[in-house]
Amino acid sequence: MSQLELLEEHVVFGGTQYKYRHDSTVLGCLMTFSLFLPNKETFSNPPLFWWLSGLTCTDDNFTHKAGAQKAAARLGVAMIMPDTSPRGEEIADSEDWDLGQGAGFYLNATEKPWAPHYQMYDYITKELSAIAHDHFQLNGPEFISGHSMGGHGALVIGLRNADRFRSISAFAPIVNPIEVPWGVKAFTEYLGDDQETWKEWDATELLKHHAGKEIPVLIDQGDADSFYEKQLQPSKIATVADEKDYPLTVRMQKGHDHSYYTIATFIEEHLEFHLSQLKNSQ
């Protein structure tokens, strides 16, 4: 397992917020991630909440802006926040904010120049998971959530690993990337022109063909989100869920936009949603 370098440690609401750096074997570069642990004496084996951020973010956006630590400390939930792409001067990048560094789309790229480093799906589901389990002994139940591009990541990773994650939630997720400009641009670059391969990384397509465990999904979408109609369109996945009678709820949030103010408003409800699913499945 890779060596972890502790960059930050802060006591917060009786738990501890950490930031680490490590040399990722899967991505071939130095990566940071953040981790919140609730009070160890009160919560010895906490469930683990994975948070995937959106375009332009690092692990800091959620840590600094969502205010999730207070609820996580009260509920006894550990939270892990990965970065959104491989990083570094030697790593392929784009001048566009919705491609390259900060925009890894949580998939395994197959095309040049991206493929050697842009393997975020494997990084999260294998390398960072092994660190969470082996280094921090976080071996309890797991949930996954995210925002925008990270909401797409949470839906795709959750549905592809429905035996592992107990529930999925998302804020303003890209639910059908193969049909919207952000997704078409990124998937063309990372996965090439064969659109059949894109479907493996598209939550709406995955849900259409999902035959595994029906893990519940909660989506919050602000109706004042400037990306709502062009890039997000949660009704696309809601329609598929309705057709299959799949347990997926979309809540439209009046007046809310795409920002972390929306996440801060509802993050406690998301943590409670995940924990309540856990109780239901026990």
Rounded Cα distance, 150 and 237, in Å: 16
Whether omega for the bond prior to residue 234 falls within 30 degrees of 0, making it cis, is no
Which of 152, 160, 166, 258 is in the footprint of ligand GSH by CB under 6 A? Answer: 258
- b/e burial code for range 123-160 (CB count within 10 A of at least 16 → b): bbbebbbebbeeebebebbbbbbbbbbbbbbbbbbbbb
225 noted as active-site residue: yes
Contact by Cβ (8 Å): 155, 203 = yes
* Residue 57 in tokens: 């973010």
Site membership for ligand GSH, residue 68 (CB under 6 A): no
Handedness of CA 34, 40, 42, 48 (dihedral sign): positive
**The one segment of 51-59, 124-132, 136-144, 155-163 that binds ligand GSH by CB under 6 A:** 51-59
Cα separation values, 218 from 95, 170, 190, 252, Å: 34, 6, 28, 11
Interactions with ligand GSH, residue window 87-116 (CB under 6 A): 97
Query: Binders of ligand GSH among 198-257, rule CB under 6 A?
Result: none
Residue of the chain from 2, 16, 39, 56 that contacts ligand GSH (CB under 6 A): 56
CB of 175 to ligand GSH, least distance (A): 14
Give the nearest distance from C-beta 258 to ligand GSH in angstroms: 5
CA distance 202 to 198: 7
User: Does position 152 bind ligand GSH by CB under 6 A?
Assistant: no
Query: According to CB under 6 A, which one of 43, 143, 171, 260 is a site residue for ligand GSH?
Result: 260
Interface residue with ligand GSH among 34, 108, 148, 169 (CB under 6 A) is: 148
Q: Pick between residue 105 and residue 260 the one whose CB is nearest to ligand GSH.
A: 260
Tokens of 239: 């329609």
65 binds ligand GSH (CB under 6 A): yes
Number of H helices, E strands in the chain: 10, 9
Report the largest interatomic distance among the alpha carbons of the chain, rounded to a whole angstrom.
52
**Which one among 54, 76, 104, 146 touches ligand GSH, defined by CB under 6 A?**
54
Candidates 26, 35, 52, 55; binder of ligand GSH (CB under 6 A) is: 55
Active site residue 133: no
Q: Say how far apart CA 147 and CA 174 lie, in whole Å.
A: 9
- Of the pair 54, 86, the CB lying nearest ligand GSH is at 54
Q: Which of 169, 225, 270, 274 is catalytic?
A: 225
Q: Give the interface segment with ligand GSH, choosing from 53-61, 68-76, 157-165, 192-200 (CB under 6 A).
A: 53-61
As beta bridge partners, residue 81 has: 34
Residues belonging to the active site:
148, 225, 258
Binding site for ligand GSH (CB under 6 A): 54-57, 61, 65, 97, 147-149, 258-260
